[in-house]
Amino acid sequence: MRKEIIEYTSPLDALIALVKQLSAYEAQYKLDSAEFFTQYSQGKTDDDEVFVEWAGNYQHYLALHQELSQKLSHVA
């Protein structure tokens, strides 16, 4: 499977795109991303390519969310 690299103009654009991707996974698997990630981290899921991608997207989401929260807290 060929992966595509997407570049975003801002961290906020990237965060929005990740939220959309996470929402799609959550709807498909009827599982919240945080709960999925807990199960994935504990080895309770398969190492299916989709799950690896979901976990990576969730980690990226958490990092971007933290980065943006820190920036916003310095503005206020």
Give residue limits of the domains in the chain. Answer: 13-75
Instruction: Give exposure, 43-72, as e/b (b: 16+ Cβ within 10 Å).
Output: eebeeeeebeebbebbebbeebeeeeeeee
Confidence of residue 73 (pLDDT cuts 50, 70, 90): confident
Confidence of residue 10 (pLDDT cuts 50, 70, 90): confident
Tell me the per-residue pLDDT of 23-70, one tens digit each, with 9 for 90 and over.
999 999 999 999 999 999 999 999 899 999 999 999 999 999 998 888
Predicted local distance difference test score (pLDDT) of residue 8 = 72
Q: Model-level pTM?
A: 0.84
